[in-house]
Chain A
Amino acid sequence: MGGAVVREYRYIGKRIPPRDAFDKVTGIAPYVYDMELPGMLYVKLLQSTQPHARIKGIDYSKALSVSGVVAVATGRDFPFRIGIYVGDRDLLAIEKALWVGHPVAAVIAESPRAAEKALDLIEVDYEPLQPVFDPIEAMKPGAPLLHPDLGKYRISPAFKPRPGTNIANEFRLSKGDVDKGFSKASVVVEGEFSIPFMSHVYMETQAVIAHYKPNGYVDIWSSAQSPFSARYLLAMSLGMPVGRIRIHVPYVGGGFGGKAGLGWEPLAVMLSKKAGYRPVKLLFTRSEQMRLAPVVAGVKAWGKLGLDKEGRIVAYQARFIFDSGAFGDYTVNVSRTAGYACTGSYEVDNVECLSYAVYTNKIPTTALRGFGYPENHWVLERLIDMAAKKLGMDPAKVRSINLLKPGKSKTSTGARLREDAGDPQRVLEEVIGSLGWGREPSSTDKPWKIRAKGFALSVKGPSQPPDASSSAIIKFNEDGSVDVMVGTGNFGQGTVTSLAMIVAEEFGIPLDKVHVHEMRSTNDSAYTWQTVGSRGLFTDGSALLEAIKDAKSKIKRVASAVLRVSEDHLEIGDGKVYVKGKPWHYIPLERIVMGYLYENGNAIGGPIIGAGRHIAELNTFLDPETGQGTPTIFYTFGGTGVEVEVNVLTGEIKVVKAVQVFDIGKAINPLLVEGQMIGGFVMGQSRALYEELIFDEMGSVANPNLSFYYVARAKDMPDEWVLKIIETPQSDGPYGARGIGENVMIAVAPAIGNALYHGLSVDVRSLPLKAERVWRAIREQNPKLYKEALEAVKRSIRESYKKLREALVVAR
């Protein structure tokens, strides 16, 4: 693996489409959404109509009389709170409703129809309380408190809530002396930036089936990214032994972070018990999903950047206020990550970044692909271009001067960047080279449509606790094929295909002889903390390589006895174990992996099983005062370039060219990597240009459906793509690989923002860059451009009209 020797691989580096595609193109792939169990009941949730209210009473007697209704539950039935990082979530509203949409009661019935009918008959007596919708208002002393008992909640050690306020987490990164730094600056730029709430819009909405059995075991089928974390947290909250809870995850219809951590499993389990130990299914419609299930936090941010006359960053200051909505459970980690990684791909000696997650009476929020990084990059990568312009320097040059240097630089958290972390300088060169940065963009045949170029760099590492771990098990079958047991999930990324390729490569067996079950089950899949943070291939792949090594050594032990050579003279490849240098002296794997049978009937060995594990041994907690330490197992460096076409008269932006460059160490399967690079770009573009949850005066989501919440469609995708994979191997990654799943969307918004800034001299700091916002910005900031475009279109109309008239004259 790795090293200077270039090896010829049979599978690694090949473009192999995932085998599970068969199930998906034929429609037989099982999603929890589709599953049914005998005797299963259905759940519907009653949503609060109040943004903040004391629940004085709930009368559900009429609901119980509806034919088919089995039980009704309220928050009184489940007086405890849960969560992965901050245990602030209730299963159903306890005493208070915290947002319009907050589930206050659950109806369990024989059919969804009966449950829905019963919902209408439940009467809730609310005593309205003063709500707070703006996170900055919510931080002020005297603001209405959402969680007066915050000090009593279970808190994971990395987080600092401030009891007695609405602050669910406060994070500070502090290094050097920012005041001193700014005093040396030739130029200083600062600004306020914002990103609205968004919906993950994974195509399969949240779905969970739970069966609490009378024998004390619980079986759960969940559309989830994190069955093991969910199991552990569930066991802790319910006071149950971990092993009695079994969570099964079949195909998952998209996750993007929104199905990480703890989902709706706890509620479904408790409702199953309440319904007399019958299985219950909880399934959201799209509009339920967008009103009551966690979405993505909005952020209000501020940043200030100082450059000296050479373009060196002398100080950086930023503040992020994440609007976590009613629960901050996972969003506290979003805020922490935005803070500790606030300096992006650059080395900055003087830094102060503050980051908060703040409660408001809105829909709760959770993780999203790349979280913390899209937000801090939207600030920093824009400020760099502004500062560069002010200094009269090429923004590519400013970046180049300040880039982290592997082996030399210290990252934002004061950890030295490892020598083999990648090649950020080359990433930058490839981005600007492929974009043709410095060359004028092509012009269009319509003078009111202007082309512009922009780019941004990005970095991303997994945001996980230092003890997050993974494992893998492989076992051989009679025909020499291998069953692979991993915990990492299968919701489209294709990681399991890459893992299967590693097994086939290592034993030299056909890929068809490697089997990875599509279902994850906590009781018989190998453990992994969560499938999040672009960590799956790196961590579970590392564990898998250790499992392969383990199995190989067991095979060699048996072969050594049979072939009468020492184990270190044996090699495994081509489906054989053979003597080094004498490949004709071998035993086929299938003759040894279930035990070797001598001619006289003696047998030795036995079925071969290999086990492996991975933990980030060098990670640390971050210092609670300064945020210094080692938070991550790798950083993947990347960059995005865009050429956009802006209709000056309407503000519409069309992305015509996309450049994506990432140093991922090794592309185990380039087809899948490109799938991430394209899909992530379009998701990033969608967030940058279109997506926004809109709240009404009650803090209620006003566009909770896909009619009024626009997601990028085929017509929106760029026409031209440049996808570049750089492979600077990292010695502890599988075949040198680093993660890629999230970085792909981080730099898209700042690249587009920078394109507007350079090409149109228009500076928009709030996402999305929707047509109306851009149109207003052009009129306000560059009225000359608007006027010229208007003249151009008038001219064009006049000319067309003239031509038409001439044609008519001729026709007559």
Chain B
Amino acid sequence: MSQAPGNGGEAITITVKVNGKTYTHTIPPRMLLVHYIREVLGLKGTHIGCDTSNCGACTVILNGKAVKSCTLFAFMADGGEILTIEGISEDGKLHPIQEAFWENHALQCGFCTPGFIMNLYEFLSKNKKPSEEEVRRAIEGNLCRCTGYVNIVRAAMAAAEKMG
């Protein structure tokens, strides 16, 4: 949560593809991926809720896998492909998971929402017909203080249905 990109050591140049666009930046070696996404790329939809990898608000997709971007260094994404919450909808048309979250009132304050959606993005791409139990297990690494999770699980089930 400190907006402090780590300093020290020799700067590293990385090239990453983020939401379909390729970027090359020179960054401090200890900069966290989440700070790179938020501070360098300016993508503030990826949130920080705990700094200790407990809450999952910072979840993004790196090379097809949902990761907590506060637990990775930015250089670890070098040569990779990142998808953030800003990259899953096109021209204002929502992704089915986003739609399902809205329709099922699966969010209140909304701060944790992008992390849940990105986590489910990977999970639902690999589990076409999950059970509620499996969804619950899939989102165990994400914290939500408002909703009590019930509608998040409902949204995930509805999204699975939509995505066929």
Count of B residues near A, CB < 8 Å?
Answer: 58
Q: Does A330 contact B (CB under 8 A)?
A: no
Chain A binder among B9-17, B41-49, B72-80: B41-49
Complexed CA–CA distance, A234 and B45 (Å): 32
| A706 partner, pick from B4, B50, B136, beta carbons under 8 A | B50
Contact, CB under 8 Å: A492 / B89: no
**CB of B20, distance to nearest CB on chain A (Å):** 16
User: Could you list 30 examples of A-B contacts with CB < 8 Å?
Assistant: A17-B103, A18-B105, A21-B105, A25-B85, A25-B101, A25-B110, A27-B44, A33-B47, A111-B4, A202-B145, A203-B55, A203-B144, A204-B111, A205-B49, A284-B1, A287-B51, A493-B108, A672-B105, A675-B147, A675-B151, A679-B147, A679-B148, A705-B52, A706-B50, A707-B54, A711-B143, A714-B137, A714-B149, A715-B137, A721-B150
Given contacts A27-B44, A27-B86, A672-B105, contact A205 B1 (CB under 8 A): yes
Interface range on chain A: under 10, 10 to 19, 20 to 34, or 35 or more? 35 or more
List 6 additional A-B contacts (Cβ < 8 Å) besides A25-B107, A31-B47, A680-B148: A18-B105, A25-B102, A27-B45, A27-B113, A33-B48, A285-B51
Task: Name B8-44 residues within 8 Å CB distance of A.
Answer: 38, 43-44
Point out the residue from A18, A22, A113 that lies within 8 Å of B5, measured CB to CB.
Answer: A113
Mark out the residues of chain A between 275 and 318 whose CB falls within 8 Å of any chain B CB in the assembled complex: 283-287
> Which chain A residue has the least Cβ–Cβ distance from B143?
A711
Our pick among B94, B105, B135 for the contact of A17 (Cβ within 8 Å) is B105
User: Complex: how many Å from CA A201 to CA B55?
Assistant: 10
CB-based nearest A residue for B84: A27
Q: What's the A-B contact tally at a CB cutoff of 8 Å?
A: 179
The answer to whether the Cβ of B153 comes within 8 Å of any Cβ in the partner chain is: yes
Q: Could you tell me the distance between the alpha carbons of A29 and B110 in the complex, rounded to whole angstroms? A: 8
Most buried by A among B54, B86, B136: B54
Q: How far is the CB of B136 from chain A (nearest CB, A)?
A: 4
Compute how far the CA of A112 lies from the CA of B113 in the bound complex, rounded to whole angstroms: 26
Which residues in chain A, 694-730, are within 8 Å of chain B measured between CB atoms?
Answer: 705-707, 711-715, 717, 721
Q: Is the CB–CB distance between A494 and B108 below 8 Å?
A: yes
Say yes or no: B117 contacts A25, CB within 8 Å.
yes
Known: A42-B3, A675-B151. A26 touches B86 (CB 8 A): yes
A491 contacts the other chain (CB 8 A): yes
When A26-B45, A203-B47 are in contact, do A253 and B103 touch as well, CB less than 8 Å? no
Residues of A within 8 A of B149 (CB): 682, 713-714, 717
The residue on B at minimum CB distance from A721 is B150
Q: Are A202 and B109 in contact (CB under 8 A)?
A: yes
In the assembled complex, which residues on chain B have CB atoms less than 8 Å from the CB atom of A706? 49-50, 52, 54-55, 143
Find out whether the CB atom of A24 lies under 8 angstroms from the CB atom of B107.
yes
Query: Known contacts being A254-B111, A679-B146, A706-B54, is A285 close to B1, with CB within 8 Å?
Result: yes
| Binary A-proximity of B111-154 (CB < 8 A = 1, otherwise 0) | 11110010000000000000000011101101111111111110
Neighbour of B110 across the interface among A111, A116, A253, A712, CB < 8 A: A253
CB <8 Å contact, A678 and B102: no
- Give every chain B residue within 8 A of A809 (Cβ-Cβ): none
Q: Does A538 contact B (CB under 8 A)?
A: no
Asked if A682 contacts B148 (CB within 8 A), the reply is: yes
B145→A203 contact, CB < 8 A: yes
Majority-rule SS of B interface residues: loop
Query: Known contacts being A25-B107, A203-B145, is A714 close to B45, with CB within 8 Å?
Result: no
Pairwise interchain contact A204-B152, C-beta atoms closer than 8 A? no
A 478-498 to B, binary, CB cutoff 8 A, 1 in contact else 0? 000000000000011110000
- A714 x B109 contact (CB < 8 A): no
Task: Name B150's contact: one of A31, A671, A715, A717 (CB within 8 Å).
Answer: A717
Judge if B98 is at the interface, Cβ distance under 8 Å: yes
A41 interfacial contact with B, CB 8 Å: no
Name A675's closest neighbour in chain B (CB-CB): B105
A440 to B49, CA, bound (A): 43
CB distance from A233 to the nearest CB of B (A): 24
Residues of B near any A CB (own CB < 8 A): 1-5, 7, 38, 43-52, 54-55, 57, 84-86, 89, 94, 98-99, 101-105, 107-114, 117, 135-137, 139-140, 142-153
Q: Nearest chain B CB to A157's CB is how many angstroms away?
A: 34
Q: Within 8 Å CB of A675, what residues of B?
A: 105, 108, 146-147, 151
Contact A203 B105 (CB under 8 A): no
A714 with B139: in contact, given A283-B3, A721-B150 (CB under 8 Å)?
yes
Contacts of B5 in A (CB 8 A): 113
**What's the Cα separation between A30 and B110 when bound, in Å?**
10
Residues in chain A near residue B107, CB distance under 8 A: 21, 24-25, 492
Among A24, A111, A202, A256, point to the contact of B113 (Cβ < 8 A): A24
Q: Which residues of A contact B148 (CB under 8 A)?
A: 678-683, 712, 717
B29 CB to closest chain A CB (Å) equals: 14
Q: Considering only CB atoms, which chain B residue lies closest to A719 in the complex?
A: B132
Which A residue sits closest to B149, measured CB to CB? A714
Query: Distance in Å from the Cβ of B111 to the closest Cβ of chain A?
Result: 3
Contacts of B38 in A (CB 8 A): 34
Nearest chain A CB to B113 CB, angstrom units? 5
Interface contact B140-A713, CB-CB below 8 Å: yes
Q: Mark A790-806, 1 if CB is under 8 A from B, else 0.
A: 00000000000000000
A674 CA / B105 CA spacing, docked (Å): 10
Contact residues, A14-60 vs B (CB, 8 A): 17-18, 20-31, 33-34, 42
Q: Is B51's CB under 8 angstroms from A286's CB?
A: yes
Instruction: List A contacts of B55 (CB < 8 A).
Output: 203, 706
Question: A582 CB to closest chain B CB, in angstroms?
Answer: 40
Taking a contact as CB atoms under 8 Å apart, the answer to whether B98 and A113 are in contact is no
Known: A27-B84, A706-B52. A22 touches B102 (CB 8 A): yes
Q: Which of A42, A116, A713 has the most CB of B within 10 A?
A: A713
For A116, the chain B residues whose CB sits under 8 A away are: 2, 4
How distant is the Cα of A672 from the Cα of B105 in the complex, in angstroms? 8
Give the nearest-CB partner of A202 in chain B: B145
A91 CB within 8 Å of chain B: no
Most-contacted residue by chain A among B113, B148, B153 (CB, 10 A)? B148
Q: Which 7 A-B pairs give the minimum distances between C-beta atoms?
A: A27-B45, A492-B108, A24-B110, A682-B148, A253-B111, A27-B85, A492-B109
Asked if B143 and A705 make an inter-chain contact with CB atoms under 8 angstroms apart, the answer reads: no
Residues of B within 8 Å of A111, CB to CB, are 4
Report A227-252 CB contacts with B as 1/0, cut-off 8 Å: 00000000000000000000000011
Q: A residues within 8 A CB of B89? A: 26
> From A713, which residue of chain B is reached at the shortest CB distance?
B140
Partner of B46, one of A27, A679, A707: A27
The answer for the CA separation of A706 and B107 in the assembled complex, in Å, is 21
* A112 and B139 contacting across the interface, CB-CB below 8 Å: no
- In the bound assembly, the distance between CA atoms of A571 and B104 in angstroms comes to 36
A23 B110 Cβ-Cβ under 8 A: yes
Q: Chain B contacts of A20 at CB under 8 A?
A: 110
Question: Which one of B57, B117, B139, B145 lies within 8 Å of A256 (CB-CB)?
Answer: B145
Q: Is the CB of A714 within 8 A of B145?
A: no
Q: B residues within 8 A CB of A283?
A: 1, 3
* Complex Cα spacing A440 to B108, Å: 37
A272 to chain B, nearest CB (A): 18
